């Protein structure tokens, strides 16, 4: 060994030393048999235990044993190598092929930073083709913010929702994910289209299970409780009988009950199918973002507003960092009525974004009544953000007119003309 090899630690930082020891296989003291092929992977107990509570328990705690030859049949070799590279020197090598396995490995061994890196990767790769697989991962690994991002992508427009419902990924969606989607009151497509999509999903899954797809009982059995999330009573009588009733998925009694409901002859009968119309999300902007600094030190931004027709408020559109780098804000927001009651709120929490503009969704949807005054109350702490400029006192979108006015609660300079709070996210009947 030459002098340089003997003094390899010189000039290297901690992570660089870790990388050198892993790469050059120096003083390994634990061996893993990885994947179905049981490929041998060696590592250092100290490094693993210092970076993961699960590995610590395995190496030094209550789960440790006398043998440090450990079988890991449920993680593929390349994914396990990715895990080690992250633990040793924080390299993330996440791509479309490895992200699911890496999520599983980070969850299994409690490596939360790697799990968050996977979460961020998936958030930035949501599109019509990937959204189904990403939803499944979000459900499986309890990534609620990622699941929300997927849903927001799907419901952003009728065109996007229809593309999603016609995709190959949709046909492979799990029952649990499909149920969560059909329960949404913000899916911007009509009930006839949803039913046809459900019928295709059921046909595909019957075929997958080797069941006769021409047997309506098999299709109905595959649909199960999903069928009750379709709003047959919201269809016209002509559409119901022309587009739905012919396929014999519904029973004769159900067809009769739905038909009577459609024409108003239901006398308080309990209807098992959806009867409340879905809503679509609209964004109501009051101005245009400009690269003008808005300081966010915890002072209050506030605006009053009125609407010309009743609707629901879903959330707020906010402005982010001036330099487009990932920025974290601590945000608290609420909608307050004229009786000083909070009718919707976004609990104080940290939000990281990389965009000029981003959204927050209230913990509850609130109903806003015609011509009554409400106040948007916002507290943000973080780096200076864009401001919205050249704002309008009155804005109309999809027949909804919003009139803004200034609030005495504002202490951070937001006015009808400029400031934070560029817009509202609203729900209106489909």
> Which tens digits make up the pLDDT trace of 200-209?
999 999 999 9
What is the per-residue pLDDT across 37-46, written as a single tens digit (0 to 9) for each? 999 999 999 9
**Of 96 and 67, which is predicted with more confidence?**
96
pTM beyond cutoff 0.75: no
pLDDT of residue 326: 79
152/176 Cα distance (integer angstroms)? 18
pLDDT of residue 1: 45
User: Mean pLDDT over all residues of the chain?
Assistant: 91
pLDDT of residue 64: 65
pLDDT of residue 65: 63
181/226 Cα distance (integer angstroms)? 10
Over residues 275-292, mean pLDDT: 88
What is the per-residue pLDDT across 361-383, written as a single tens digit (0 to 9) for each? 998 889 999 999 999 999 999 99
* Domains of the chain, start order: 3-122 (3.30.710.10), 134-262 (1.25.40), 280-429 (2.60.120.820)
pLDDT of residue 67: 65
Q: Report whether pLDDT(286) > 70.
A: yes
212/218 Cα distance (integer angstroms)? 7
Q: Report whether pLDDT(126) > 50.
A: yes
* Per-residue CA distances from 330 to 213, 299, 310, 319, 413 (Å): 52, 12, 31, 13, 19
Choose the weakest-confidence range: 101-110, 151-160, 223-232, 306-315.
Answer: 151-160
3-state SS, the chain, equals CCHHHHCCCCCCCHHHHHHHHHHCCCCCCEEEEECCCCEEEEECHHHHHHHCHHHHHHHCCCCCCCCCEEEECCCCHHHHHHHHHHHHHCCCCCCCCCHHHHHHHHHHCCCHHHHHHHHHHHHCCCCCCCHHHHHHHHHHCCCHHHHHHHHHHHCCCHHHHHHHHCCHHHHCCCHHHHHHHHCCCCCCCCHHHHHHHHHHHHHHHHHHCCCCCCCHHHHHHHHHHHHHHCCHHHCCHHHHHHHHHHHCCCCHHHHHHHHHHHCCCCCCCCCCCCCCCCEEEEEEECCEEEEEEEEEEEEEEEEEEEECCCEEEEEEEEECECCCCCEEEEEEEEEEECCCCEEEEEEEEEEEECCCEEEEEEEEEEEECCCCCEEEEEEEEEEEEEEEECCCCEEEECCEEEEEEECCCCCCCCCCCCECCCEEEEEEEC
Q: How confident is the model at residue 3 (pLDDT cuts 50, 70, 90)?
A: very low
pLDDT of residue 294: 87
What is the per-residue pLDDT across 337-352, written as a single tens digit (0 to 9) for each? 999 999 999 999 998 8
Q: Report whether pLDDT(123) > 60.
A: yes
pLDDT of residue 267: 61
């Amino acid at each position: 060994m030459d002098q340089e090899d003997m003094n390899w630690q010189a000039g290297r930082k901690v992570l660089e030393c870790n990388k050198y020891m892993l790469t050059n296989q120096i003083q390994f003291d634990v061996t893993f048999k990885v994947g179905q092929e049981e490929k041998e992977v060696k590592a250092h107990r100290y490094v693993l235990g210092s970076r993961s509570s699960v590995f610590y328990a395995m190496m030094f705690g209550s789960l440790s044993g006398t043998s440090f030859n450990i079988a890991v049949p449920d993680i593929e070799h390349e994914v396990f190598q990715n895990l080690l590279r992250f633990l040793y020197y924080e390299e993330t090598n996440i791509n479309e092929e490895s992200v699911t396995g890496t999520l599983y490995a980070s969850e299994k061994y409690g490596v939360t930073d790697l799990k968050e890196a996977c979460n961020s990767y998936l958030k930035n790769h949501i599109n019509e083709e990937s959204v189904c697989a990403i939803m499944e991962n979000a459900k499986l690994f309890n990534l609620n913010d990622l699941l929300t991002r997927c849903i927001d992508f799907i419901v952003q427009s009728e065109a996007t929702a229809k593309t999603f419902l016609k995709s190959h990924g949709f046909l492979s969606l799990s029952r649990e994910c499909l149920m969560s989607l059909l329960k949404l009151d913000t899916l911007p497509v009509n009930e006839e289209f949803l039913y046809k999509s459900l019928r295709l999903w059921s046909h595909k899954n019957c075929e997958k299970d080797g069941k006769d797809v021409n047997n309506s009982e098999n299709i109905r059995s595959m649909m199960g409780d999903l069928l009750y999330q379709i709003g047959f009573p919201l269809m016209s009588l002509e559409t119901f009988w022309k587009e739905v009733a012919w396929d014999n998925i519904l029973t004769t009694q159900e067809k009769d009950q739905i038909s009577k409901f459609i024409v108003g002859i239901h006398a308080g009968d309990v209807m098992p199918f959806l009867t409340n119309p879905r809503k679509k999300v609209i964004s109501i902007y009051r101005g245009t973002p400009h690269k003008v600094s808005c300081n966010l030190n915890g002072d209050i931004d506030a605006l009053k507003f009125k609407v010309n027709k009743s609707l629901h408020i879903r959330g707020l559109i906010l402005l982010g960092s001036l330099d487009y780098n990932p920025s974290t804000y601590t945000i608290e927001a609420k909608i307050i009525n004229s009786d000083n009651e909070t009718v919707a709120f976004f609990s104080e929490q940290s939000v990281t974004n990389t965009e000029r503009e981003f959204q927050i969704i209230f913990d509850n949807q609130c109903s806003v009544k015609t011509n009554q005054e409400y106040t948007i109350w916002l507290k943000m702490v973080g780096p200076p953000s864009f401001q919205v400029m050249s704002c309008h006192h009155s804005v109309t979108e999809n027949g909804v007119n919003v009139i803004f006015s200034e609030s005495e609660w504002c202490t951070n300079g937001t006015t009808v003309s400029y400031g934070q709070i560029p817009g509202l996210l609203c729900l209106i009947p489909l």
